[in-house]
Amino acid sequence: MAERIVLNTDIRKGTINRNIYGHFAEHLGRCIYEGIWVGEDSPIPNTKGIRNDVVEALKEMKIPVLRWPGGCFADEYHWKDGIGPSEERKRMINTHWGGAVENNHFGTHEFMRLCAMLECEPYINGNVGSGTVQEMSEWVEYLTFNGVSPMAELRQKNGQEEAWSVAYFGVGNENWGCGGNMRPEYYADLYRQYQTYVRNYGDNKIHRIACGANSDDYNWTEVLMREATRFMDSLTLHYYTLPTSDWTNKGAATGYGTDEYFNTLKKALFMDELVTRHSVIMDKYDPDKRVGLIVDEWGTWYDVEPGTNPGFLYQQNTIRDALVAGLTLNIFHKHSDRVRMANIAQTVNVLQAVILTEGEKMLLTPTYHVFNMYKIHQDAELLDLTVDSPLYSYEGVEIPEVSASASVTAEGVIHVSLCNLNHAAPAVLPLELRGLAGQSAAVSGTTLAGSSIDAHNTFGQPEAVVPQPFTAFQLEGDTLTVELPPMSVTVLAITPG
Ligand code: AHR
């Protein structure tokens, strides 16, 4: 078969939910504390304790939804510890993550303020593993009830007169592991019980999210869908990409060789199979696709940076991460009939972060640039596209060299996102633009490429990897031939007419 991309500009396949571009911020390492929250007395410029530089960068990237407070932390978090005068809030040890002191200065009010500043939807994850039905139900009442009630009064006493609006609420996290080591049958029953008391107050309609599977645990999805489909609006999936198969020796974030680079991309591509197979199970119980699949933790997971707290999960971010982000987002687009939200782990200073900070300094990672370049796909209509990709091989193993996806905006501008995974060679291939009915097209592009296999930004050189104009294309008739640089993520804008 000829190597090419065929784009049917006149075949639309549904909306790409903007929430696929969601993020996840946990009380873990320096994500919340320092990365987002510095406190009002900090010399770092802030608004009511929240860093201005980070808010500005996340807004620019159009962050649509933010998941909080965990992760594993969610099933140890007792929300009442994080309300009221901050100097009176409990100090405790974050036993799960690095033994850091948790002073609870960032709690419900601060999170809701952060979401308001970011103009994004809050996605709150409740505690099933070590919390009670009453605790969860009261959190929802505190957040969303406007009438006369003990929790509404408590919220008002703490300075928030009006109830907030909260669309997304998760009932437990990783309850097959850190959230209680439960069997799916047991969790399914608990889910049914807990969600009963996650009430809709007034106009606030909560999208109830059940804890889903770890990676390829298809039995978990089967049991949850069999036992609880009618009680949920979405089911989650967690999948992390490691360069190796050994959690005690995952591989470094920088300074790796071609083998780890290649293996990471190969393992990231596995997301397609995972989403496909979990969706097949969901289709069996929910053929109308009412229930969404939310991939609320995904991204790369490496060994921590040398000399940092192993429990803080701080890692650098290179062009390899940019490619993982680009190809994964392309996969989510393809499955946007079922995947309604995804949350990369985690927003700042933890795992595949879009932002790193060091005191008052902040840098944008290659992953940030991909999210910023791809934001034009948010809420756009997915277009029909097929890739017959050249193969990228390493030591006898082959993967597709090119990943691609396309969408069209309400204004009719077509965007094509293209990743060339090959670390050594450009990818040259024709992109056939079908369905333009003889119209010509204006084309422009932006690319993010690596000059070395672990190209990354540092606080000394924060702009080593940044998007550049892309001009290596030629349009003849309805065929656009592109030459994608090695290790690159490119977005084309095609305006017909
Ligand atoms: O993102 C880090 C951790 O990974 C989360 O706390 C947990 O849910 C997952 O295992």
Backbone angles phi, psi at 305, to 5 degrees: -60, 135
52 in Cβ contact with 42 (< 8 Å): no
pLDDT band at 1 (very low <50, low <70, confident <90, very high): low
Write out pLDDT tens, residues 156-195.
Answer: 999 999 999 999 999 999 999 999 999 999 999 999 999 9
Residue nearest to atom 9 of ligand 1 (CA): 71
Tell me what percent of the residues of the chain surpass a pLDDT of 70: 100
Distance 72 CA to ligand 1 centre (A): 6
Distance 23 CA to ligand 1 centre (A): 13
328 has a pLDDT exceeding 90: yes
As a whole number, mean pLDDT of residues 321-338 equals: 98
As a whole number, mean pLDDT of residues 43-66 equals: 98
Write out pLDDT tens, residues 291-300.
Answer: 999 999 999 9
As a whole number, mean pLDDT of residues 389-411 equals: 97
82 has a pLDDT exceeding 70: yes
439 has a pLDDT exceeding 90: no
Write out pLDDT tens, residues 184-207.
Answer: 999 999 999 999 999 999 999 999
Q: What is the pTM of this model?
A: 0.98
Select from 72, 75, 128, 238 the residue to mutate for testing ligand 1; criterion: most ligand atoms less than 8 Å from CB: 72
The CB density around residue 386, as the number of other CB atoms within 10 Å, is 12
As a whole number, mean pLDDT of residues 67-77 equals: 97
Distance 67 CA to ligand 1 centre (A): 12
Instruction: Map residue 107 onto helix, strand or coil.
Output: coil
ipTM rounded to 2 decimals:
0.99
Distance 363 CA to ligand 1 centre (A): 23
pLDDT at 447: 98
Cα distances from 271 to residues 117, 149, 167, 229, 239, in angstroms, run 32, 45, 26, 23, 8
Residue nearest to atom 3 of ligand 1 (CA): 71
Q: Any idea which residues carry the catalytic annotation?
A: 174, 297
Residue nearest to atom 6 of ligand 1 (CA): 71
Closest CA to 361 of 51, 17, 49, 5: 51
Q: Is the CB of 299 under 6 A from ligand 1?
A: no
Residue nearest to atom 7 of ligand 1 (CA): 71
286 has a pLDDT exceeding 80: yes
As a whole number, mean pLDDT of residues 316-343 equals: 98
pLDDT band at 225 (very low <50, low <70, confident <90, very high): very high
Cα 249 from Cα 468, distance rounded (Å)? 35
pLDDT at 438: 83
Burial of 91 (0-12, 13-18, 19+ CB in 10 A): exposed
Instruction: Map residue 344 onto helix, strand or coil.
Output: strand
Average pLDDT, the chain: 97
